[in-house]
Each structure stands twice: as C-alpha cells, then as structure tokens.
Amino acid sequence: MAASSLVSKRKIRESAGDRIFVFTIYFILSLVLVAVLYPLIYIASSSISSPSAVVSGKVWLWPVDISFRGFQTIFKTPLIMTGYANSLFYMAVGTLISVTLTVMLAYPLSRKTFFGRNGILMVVLFTMLFGGGLIPTYLVVKELGMIDSRLALLIPNAIWVWQVIIARSFFQSAIPDELAEASAIDGCSDWRFLRSVVLPLSKPILAVLVLMYAVGQWNAYFDALIYLKSDKLFPLQLVLRSIIIQNNSAGAMDISIQVQRAQLAELLKYSLIVVATLPVLLIYPFVQRYFVQGMLVGSVKG
C-alpha cells in the first residue's frame, strides 16, 4: 500500500490546459481519420450497390440493394483483363528497371572519390528545372523506334530525379566512406561492395523507391495515350478511361437504354476505382515499415 501510494504521488498531474490540448489533438486526428476513411467506405459501398441506388444518391455509407453488376461487367470485358496484365507487367518490369538505374546513378554520386560527381549532379538537377517538352520527347521516342511498343512506357521515364536525390542522400548518410575503404583494402571490388554491402544495408530506401516507382507506373496513362496505338498494349488505366468514355457516349438510342447506360457508367466508376487501387493496397503493407525510415533518412540527412 505504501509503495502504491508513493508511485501515485510521483505521477505527474496533468493540468487543465494539458487535458484541453490532448483533447484537441485527438479531436483533430479523429476528423482527419473520418475525412480519410469516409471516401474509401463510400467508394467500396457504391461499387457493390445497385446502379439506380448509386445514381439516385441513396448510398451514403453502407451498400444499398447489394449488386455486383459493376464487377461482373468489368471482368466480362476481355480488354480489361489484358489491360490488367499489361499494367502488372509495366509495374513489375518498370519498377525493376527504374530502381536499378536509380541505384546505379545515385550511389556513385554519393561517393566523394567519384570524379566529376558534382558536374554530373548539376546536369541531373538541371532536368528538374527545364525539359524538352512533349513534341521533342515524342520525336526522340519515335526516332528510337519505340512508338507502339512496351519500351515506350519503360525507358523514357525510367529515372526520376527526385528519387535519385533521395537515394543519394541516403547512401551518403548510411554508407560511410570508411566502410568502402575497409572493403577495398580487403580486395573487394566496387561491384561486389555494392551487391554484398550497400544493397543489404539499403533496404529502407529500396522499399521507398519500389513503392514510389510501382505506384507511378501503375497510375501512369498519359505516356500510353501518346505513344501506344494497339489496344493490346494498353495499360489498365487507359482501358478504364476508354470504357467510361464509351458508356458516357450514349448516341442515338431509346431514352430507357440511355438511362440504364448512364446508371451503369456511374456504377462502373466506383467499381473501376476499387479494381485499379487493389494492387497498390496489396504492395504497401510489405514496404510500409521501411517507408518512413527511408523517407526521413533520405530526405533530411546528407
């Protein structure tokens, strides 16, 4: 009893101002949580509600007249499955290429012994401020023979400058020069040092790069819209765009059919959002524990 009373006396009593401050913080965080969760719940509920309930605004939080017509329409369309496979290919291969090239560029720029690194870094940073524009870029892609090919979505935007800067800052802070010097004394080559020492120590920044590039590749549609002509190469985002446009263009038909198509088009929007965001939601849990650490180390230090 004496010990418990002593512990209770030593506890710091919160003042009224502290309690008000804590309550305010929790209230603001609760509002932020509602603002983030409500659109997600609304989209998920609308995607499995009947088309008439979605159009009439009956869906507020929970599904109304549960129907999977939107998903049935999506997966009955062969072009959507082709687009899904294409997007997975672009995301996987594009992320692999981008992360590899980013590491190969960022790591040498982080080493003080690399001759001309400041000049190369200035050239890299210059591209953040000035670009050639759409027409010159299109002409370059055309001259390289990449029009209407998968390479048009993998090569031109393979490296993002901001990701190079983040990775370079991480390598500067996490991989000391003394470690490289000790490895060189032991006879370790640069390639083996990169493979056996640098990459195992760089899991946080690699996770950040994978997540950024994967999300960027999955959501990309503009390059496909410009460079691709064959619908067999279209990514999912471009296929979904085409489906929504086709359902919105009613043309000359009976008014009842127009209403049905308008309702289905509205339902498809929510179903397509759920389908398009699923891969990103599956990837994030595996890299989220490294994400914050890599972002802080890569962007603050160095």
Q: What is the 3-class SS of the chain, one letter each residue?
A: CHHHHHHHHHCCCCCHHHHHHHHHHHHHHHHHHHHHHHHHHHHHHHHCCCHHHHHHCCCCCCCCCCCCHHHHHHHCCHHHHHHHHHHHHHHHHHHHHHHHHHHHHHHHHHCCCCCCHHHHHHHHHHHHHCCCCHHHHHHHHHHCCCCCCCHHHHCCCCCCHHHHHHHHHHHHHHCCHHHHHHHHHCCCCHHHHHHHHHHHHCHHHHHHHHHHHHHHHHHCCHHHHHHCCCHHHCCHHHHHHHHHHHHHCCCCCCHHHHHHHHHHHHHHHHHHHHHHHHHHHHHHHHHHHHHHHHHHHHHHCC
What is the pLDDT at residue 133?
A: 80
- pTM for this one? 0.74
Q: Is residue 61 part of a domain?
A: no
Per-residue pLDDT of 150-202, as tens digits, reads: 998 898 888 888 889 888 888 888 888 788 788 888 787 878 888 888 888 88
Contacts 24+ apart (CB under 8 A), 26-33: none
Q: Is residue 244 part of a domain?
A: yes
Residue 1 in this model has a pLDDT that exceeds 60? no
Q: Is residue 62 part of a domain?
A: no
CA 57 to chain centre: 31
What is the pLDDT at residue 94?
A: 92
Take residue 72 and report the two structure tokens written for it.
């049935």
Q: Pick 121 or 8 by higher pLDDT.
A: 121
Query: What is the domain range of residue 274?
Result: 73-300
Per-residue pLDDT of 230-277, as tens digits, reads: 888 888 888 877 766 765 555 544 555 555 666 666 777 777 778 777
What is the pLDDT at residue 244?
A: 67
Mean of per-residue pLDDT scores for the chain: 79
Q: How many domains does the chain have?
A: 1
CA–CA distance, 246 with 228 (Å, rounded to integer): 19
Q: Is residue 5 part of a domain?
A: no
Q: Is residue 286 part of a domain?
A: yes
Residue 2 in this model has a pLDDT that exceeds 60? no
Q: Is residue 26 part of a domain?
A: no
**Residue 109 contacts residue 196 (beta carbons within 8 Å):** no
Q: Pick 203 or 9 by higher pLDDT.
A: 203
Q: Is residue 40 part of a domain?
A: no
Q: What confidence category does residue 218 fall into, taking pLDDT thresholds of 50, 70 and 90?
A: confident
What is the pLDDT at residue 302?
A: 44
Among the ranges given (11-15, 72-76, 97-101), the one the predictor scored with the smallest mean pLDDT: 11-15
Per-residue pLDDT of 123-140, as tens digits, reads: 888 888 887 788 888 898
What is the pLDDT at residue 31?
A: 92
CATH number at residue 171: 1.10.3720.10
Residue linked to tokens 């994400």? 291
Q: Pick 14 or 29 by higher pLDDT.
A: 29
Q: What confidence category does residue 30 fall into, taking pLDDT thresholds of 50, 70 and 90?
A: very high
**Residue 135 contacts residue 199 (beta carbons within 8 Å):** no
Q: Is residue 28 part of a domain?
A: no
pLDDT > 90 in the chain, percent: 8
**Mean pLDDT, rounded, for 218-222:** 84
